[in-house]
Amino acid sequence: MFYEGPVWYQRYFSYHKRAQVRTFLHFAAANYLARVYLNGEKIGEHEGGFTPFVLEVTSNVRDGQNNIVVEVNNVRRPDAVPALSTDWWNYGGLTRSVDLVDVPDVFVQDYFLQLAKGSADQIAGWVQLDGASQPQTVSIEIPELGLKKSVSTDANGHAEFRFPAKLTLWSPEAPKLYRVVISSGRETVEEQIGFRTIETRGTQILLNWKPVFLRGISLHEEAPFRGGRIVSEDEDRTLLEWAKELGCNFVRLAHYPHNEAMVRLADRMGLLVWEEVPVYWDIAWQNRSTLENAKAQLRDTITRDHDRASVILWSLSNETPPVPARTEFLRTLADYARSLDSTRLLTSAMNHTQPAGPNTRSLDDPLGQYLDVLGLNEYVGWYERRPEDADAIRWTSSYQKPLIVSEFGAGAVYGKHGEAQTRFTEEYQARVFEHQINMLRQVPSLAGMSPWLLMDFRSPRRPLVGIQDFHNRKGLISDGGRRKQAFYVLQRFYGELANSNPH
Ligand code: GCB
């Protein structure tokens, strides 16, 4: 159960080689360091436990029988991302699917289709071909709108475009997706893409130009009922349906990129998404290769999901210490994220605040200057003070930016009842939520919340026998799928919010 180290996979497969076809191995995720061998030859390696990668094997794959071997090592390292300590289980190995993918010799490598920044009727973006030695024509079609545009790629296979379109915008209430068809040469790629705007104005978040309050919940990518990493879309759906039942229009996918199907499902179900890279607690801020690694994980997350309307926030980090080297590191990540995707908002979950008066705390972390939206994790009533103390606490910030309380919570064992003073009872957890809600009603810049968290999850840091048994018990739902009292406290509040603000 606590094993960390290499695991080896081996499989034979048969393959039929064809002319003008290129072949890739696609790994949806391998935690943490993967080394891949095909027919006895090393073809590549990859670092980072939650992002996809591809290796071209066109010249290695044989007609007939082939032998693939993969070593995946989940040993934690001080220079890795994340580093040595996390509050989640270090599930190792091939945690997501591996596919052998055939494409034409010139193929659509990537595309980015979103509304142009600040516009509701102009689609802008780009398409990137791989393998083209001369300009090619690419067509972009949205059949439902009767739209078909042709663009010509440059010498690098790149083409940018911008064209008008009369669109029904995507929103949680009406998550409209369009079938988009991208064709080039011998290849046609089909997609479902939604279009919406997202921006901030002062301390508000605007979705399609209207203020939106993010009624959210945080979740880990852990399978309900059986534990382990999620392996099917059904498991994704169970979690997102629970979030819907709670009254959410928003999910914080903590603390690393969840599987791709989760985000695609959020697109279809109308849930706004906060997506995060595992720059968690303390990591080697001064280390050049750690920065390169974090950048690569951020790039691959954005690349995978940049066409998902549901994703409105890229989160750069969680609870990092406000030292200069860390702020510089995260400033670099923020600049990089903006260069890759200027259409979405940047955030980070921060937890360092200053007293600003008797019962007032101010979130002035220097990282805030590089973000569009401030995330705040606080545990009044659990790691500090009593639940009812929250009623009198006020939060401010010198940044005039929207604030999301990205975490608060308390542990409770499903079915454990007692006095509301007794920790780990359902009553105690419900009491924390009631007082947190009293407090959050008083935060003028509050644009959303994502309490900690939807479902109990496994963690090696949580050993209390009979209580935690290596689970973080802050779920509103147990890992066996049972709703705790606090679930209904939050559900009532979200119901009230939804009725007073349809957005
Ligand atoms: C936090 C962390 C989260 C932990 C949680 C807890 O602040 O961001 O990863 O699981 O607190 O339960 O302590």
Q: pLDDT tens across 97-132, in order? A: 999 999 999 999 999 999 998 898 999 999 999 999
Shortest-distance Cα residue to atom 13 of ligand 1 = 87
Q: Does residue 488 form part of some domain? A: no
Q: If you average pLDDT over every residue of the chain, what do you get? A: 97
Q: Are residues 152 and 114 in the same domain?
A: yes
**Domain final residue pick, 104, 134, 152:** 104
Torsion over CA: 216, 221, 225, 231 (sign)? positive
pTM of this prediction?
0.98
Q: Is there a single domain that holds both residue 268 and residue 406?
A: yes
Query: Is there a single domain that holds both residue 97 and residue 171?
Result: no
Contact partners, residue 355, CB within 8 Å, separation at least 6: 361, 362
Number of domains in the chain: 3
- Which of the listed residues 407, 450, 474 should we mutate to test ligand 1's pocket, taking the one with most ligand atoms within 8 A of CB? 407
Domain boundary among 80, 104, 128: 104
CA of 6 to the centre of ligand 1 (A): 28
Nearest CA to ligand 1 atom 7: 377
At 109 the three-state DSSP class reads strand
Contact 103, 24 (CB under 8 A): yes
Question: How does pLDDT run across 238-275, given as a tens digit for each residue?
Answer: 999 999 999 999 999 999 999 999 999 999 999 999 99
Q: What percent of the chain has pLDDT over 90?
A: 97
Q: Are residues 253 and 359 in the same domain?
A: yes
For residues 81-110, average pLDDT? 98
Which of 196, 225, 254 represents a domain boundary (last residue)? 196
Measured from CB, residues less than 6 Å from any atom of ligand 1 are 87, 255, 318-319, 377, 407, 452, 472, 474
Asked if residue 125 and residue 60 are part of one domain, the reply reads: no
Q: What is the mean pLDDT of residues 10-33?
A: 98
- Can you give the CATH number for the domain in which 268 is found? 3.20.20.80
Percentage, residues of the chain above pLDDT 70: 99
CB 446 within 8 A of CB 202: no
Residues 100 and 153 both lie in one domain: no
Task: Say how far apart CA 81 and CA 78 lie, in whole Å.
Answer: 8
In a domain, 270, yes or no: yes
Question: Are 137 and 96 found together in one domain?
Answer: no
- Same domain? For 57 and 85 the reply is yes
Residue 138 has pLDDT above 70, yes or no: yes
Greater confidence (224 vs 500) lies with 224
Region 334-357: mean pLDDT is 97
Which residues face 71 on adjacent strands?
8, 35
Both 181 and 236 in one domain: the answer is no
Cis check: omega of the bond before 82, within 30 degrees of 0 = yes
pLDDT at 500 > cutoff 50:
yes
Mean pLDDT for 91-99 is 98
Ligand 1: which residue has its CA nearest to atom 10? 87
Report yes or no on 467 lying in a domain. no
pLDDT tens by residue, 294-310: 999 999 999 999 999 99
Nearest alpha carbon, ligand 1 atom 4: 87
Range of the domain at 293: 208-411+437-455
Given pLDDT bands bounded at 50, 70 and 90, which one contains residue 493? very high
Q: How confident is the model at residue 501 (pLDDT cuts 50, 70, 90)?
A: low
Q: Which of 280, 429, 452 to mutate to test the pocket of ligand 1 (most atoms within 8 A of CB)?
A: 452
363 within a domain of the structure (yes/no): yes
**Structure confidence at residue 503 (pLDDT):** 46
Residues 153 and 259 in one domain: no
Model pLDDT, residue 118: 85
| 502 pLDDT above the threshold of 70 | no
214 part of a folded domain: yes
CATH of residue 70's domain is 2.60.120.260
From CA 391, how far away is CA 204, in angstroms rounded?
Answer: 23
Residue 66 and residue 118 in one domain: no
